[in-house]
Structure 1
Amino acid sequence: MRVLHLLSQRPDSTGSGTMLQAILTESEKFGHENMVVAGIQEGYLPVFPGLSHLRTRFVTFGGGDLPFPIPGMSDVMPYPSMRFSDLTDRQLSSYRDVFKTAVLKAAARFRPDIIHSNHLWLVTSLARRILPGIPMVATCHGTDLRQMHTCPRFRQEVVSGCSGLDGVFALFSRQAEEIRQVYGIPAGRIHVTGAGFRSGLFVPGEKKTDIPTIVYGGKLSRAKGVPWMLRAFASVTDLPWTLFLAGGGTGPERTECIDLAGRLGNRAVIAGSLRQEDFAAALSGANMFILPSLYEGLPLVLPEALASGCLCLATDLPGVRDILKMAGTDWLRLIPCPPLEGADTIAPGYESKFVGDIAAKLREALTDIFHRPPSAESYRELAERLKNSTWQAVFQRMEKVYFTLAASESR
């Protein structure tokens, strides 16, 4: 089968890029031909490890095709970007025109049997409208739902195309219901496929318990809860720990995070953005992983950290709860989510409590690591629970939808 994949931003650095690369790898393993249309920065060429037969077509931002930065699905991206809400009408018109040309030329050249887009947003809607005769599915990553609330200006345009998708892949069951309500897509077209991890890469390694290593992996931003997490670490002075901060960011939010991390002295390592292989190595030797986000879809880093044998702390969010059902409370502890204003802003008066809640969970988890470290048997039990969350398992669920739609089209 020939599959054309669409992503309006960089095919790396974020969760959707990680998922795209994983799905491309599995798709090639299963004998499918693949082509990608994606957005990139001028002067940057993405790497697709191990994908020797992949065909690509890129829309370049910051020069080349479009003079402005990549509009990011998150308001803070780990590379230079702008917000969709800041696009002028002229920029939006150019954005549509350039992606329309790229998608049409890719489809004419590649002649796909199916199109698999990412994000229920502008480019997916556009592709559905201009190529109505090709079966099309799209993965919802959660940030698209957030944009539907924060950028109502685009809502009608997005729904006009996305409501006609042949299939949608949701990360978890509650998200599937939200997709049905927001986009008007019938429940029968929405499939909960989940998210995965690279089973050969994310594995437990040797873990030292005298000074536990705690990893954070994600954007250095307020939406990820990083400033309050760092303040919580600063309050846990009576227990040994080392914090390993992996991730990038831009602007004043990154500056705030770096400043707070610097105040932790030699107890914090600021690693910056890492390749998947380097991030996996960090998790392999770590004791704990923490993700204090204020908004998430289904965070890919949690299955990766669990597969690496890390005790995980994460904010009590719907997608995280789906992972909790699989991992169990021995391996995943929930941090109470503070009341929010909008999608990811802590309501006034609740910041100190959030810091205290994170610190309390840190102390609890560190105490368990000191006195009840995981056994070899508990690692084996966890691996068994995670077997349906590998990227191979996720892709096989997607592939069934591919074949069903292709068979319907051929009749």
Structure 2
Amino acid sequence: MKILHLISQYPSKTGSGIYLSEVYKNFKAMNFTQKVLCSMNEDDIVEVNFDDFEIVKFKSDELPFPVVGMSDVMPYESFLFSNLTGENLERYINVFTSKILNIVENFKPDIIFTNHLYIMTSIVASLDLKCKVFAFCHGTDLRQLYKNDIHKKFICDNIPKLNGIFCLSGKQKEEIINVFNYNKDKVYVIGGGYDLDFYYKDYNKTYSKDAKIRLIYAGKFSRAKGIIYLLKAFEMVKDKYNVELILAGSGTGEEYDEIINYSKKLADKVKLYGYMNMSEIGDLFRSCDIFVMPSLYEGLSLVTIEAMACGLKVVMNELENFINFVGEDITKSKNIEFVKMPTLYDTDKVIESEVDNYILRLSIALENQIKNLYNNDYEQDFSSKMTQFSWKNISNNIKRIVV
């Protein structure tokens, strides 16, 4: 059986790219024949681990603008979907249509897995192909629909033609049903996971009163990820304890510059790391103690699951999709300290009048989790609860649905 994977983004550096790569890896272990169509900027072609793949090249003669990002700030040079209009939109649709039809004709897939309920997936759904087409919703696609209407009719007209949709949580399933008037029996909650090869716990740690506590954030550097608020909250507690904050990831533009500049003010206690692969970030996680996820919007937050699999304690916002997916056995543990979300506008921006109180709540949560470590007040075997969320289990669930 042949599977074609499609993504209009880089097949790395973001959650959806990692999602595709992990599904590919696990279906390869099941001996499926696979091919990938992904996107990259022509001046930034990165290495991939696919046996058979093709690239839609942006910043090229065919597509003279950068890869169009599912988020407004990406960890690589990108173009906004809100600006994808007129001739650029026509080029985008034509290039993807031509590429997909050509690959389908030559590769002859039995199943297509396409990522994001947005323009590329709508193109695939509109082509009336003879193979089954299943899409993965990552949350950023729904956010784009909420943020702008310019492509909404084309997308909403075609998404209902898909054979099925995989989503991250029960809440997201309800959104998909409502937004696209989609058949509820064809939306499957499968969540997201982690790779057992890279994310695992080494040993149980104990903490003396003078032990250094290492906090870490890993992911995209942008304001929507809440990093600037994390830095200000950390600034309120950094001199009370023997602590260090690590920021691992990358970004672009003014928001990235803002985060870097603020980090430099706290250089004695804040360490900056660039983009890291899964092996590197897994090793770094195991050397740290508390993972912080201050993001204001997430489809699920796979990186939080990865961090918990490595034995880290967590401070994070009350992200509904995450809470809904992992269940009470995880969320009621002292290993996670939740922070009440501020009121947002435009899906991922904090109302100015609530910024200070939110930063205070975040600082209190950091302090609570630091104290829990010093008091050894947490579940030692907590990471064992995370094995249910391995990519191997999730890929087997996908297989049972599509085959």
TM-score category, normalised to shorter length: over 0.9
**Aligned mates of 1:104, 1:83 — CA distance in 2:** 25
Would the aligned equivalents of 1:316 and 1:334 in 2 still touch at CA under 8 Å? yes
2:101 is matched by which residue type in structure 1? L
Q: 1:4-403 to 2 correspondence within 5 Å?
A: 4-49=4-49, 51=50, 54-205=51-202, 209=207, 210-236=211-237, 237-322=239-324, 323=326, 325-328=328-331, 329-372=333-376, 374=378, 378-379=380-381, 381-383=382-384, 385-403=385-403
2:149 is matched by which residue type in structure 1? P
Would the aligned equivalents of 1:11 and 1:20 in 2 still touch at CA under 8 Å? yes
Q: Percent of counterpart pairs with the same letter?
A: 29
- SS in structure 2 of the partner of residue 369 of structure 1: helix
C-alpha deviation, 1:134, in angstroms: 1.6
**Aligned mates of 2:174, 2:358 — CA distance in 1:** 29
**Aligned mates of 2:280, 2:377 — CA distance in 1:** 24
1:44 is matched by which residue type in structure 2? D
**Aligned mates of 2:341, 2:190 — CA distance in 1:** 25
C-alpha deviation, 1:368, in angstroms: 0.6
- SS in structure 1 of the partner of residue 6 of structure 2: strand
**Aligned mates of 1:240, 1:44 — CA distance in 2:** 40
Q: 1:225–1:185: structure 2 CA closer, same or farther, 3 Å change rule?
A: same
1:243 is matched by which residue type in structure 2? L
Would the aligned equivalents of 2:166 and 2:190 in 1 still touch at CA under 8 Å? yes
Deviations for 1:15-61, whole angstroms, at most 9, x for unmatched residues?
00011110100010011111111111103333334x4xx21111101
**Aligned mates of 2:350, 2:229 — CA distance in 1:** 10
Deviations for 1:56-100, whole angstroms, at most 9, x for unmatched residues?
111101124311011100000000001100123110000000001
C-alpha deviation, 1:387, in angstroms: 2.2
**Aligned mates of 1:368, 1:145 — CA distance in 2:** 37
Give 4+ residue runs of structure 1 displaced > 6 Å after superposition: none
Q: CA RMSD in A?
A: 1.4
Unaligned residue ranges in structure 2 (runs of 5+): none
C-alpha deviation, 1:353, in angstroms: 0.6
C-alpha deviation, 1:266, in angstroms: 2.2
1:2 is matched by which residue type in structure 2? K
**Aligned mates of 1:27, 1:167 — CA distance in 2:** 18
Would the aligned equivalents of 1:335 and 1:358 in 2 still touch at CA under 8 Å? yes
**Aligned mates of 1:399, 1:112 — CA distance in 2:** 15
Unaligned residue ranges in structure 1 (runs of 5+): 404-411
**Aligned mates of 2:271, 2:144 — CA distance in 1:** 33
**Aligned mates of 2:328, 2:261 — CA distance in 1:** 36
Deviations for 1:377-408, whole angstroms, at most 9, x for unmatched residues?
x22x531x2222000011111111211xxxxx
- SS in structure 1 of the partner of residue 91 of structure 2: helix
**Aligned mates of 1:151, 1:253 — CA distance in 2:** 21
C-alpha deviation, 1:331, in angstroms: 1.9
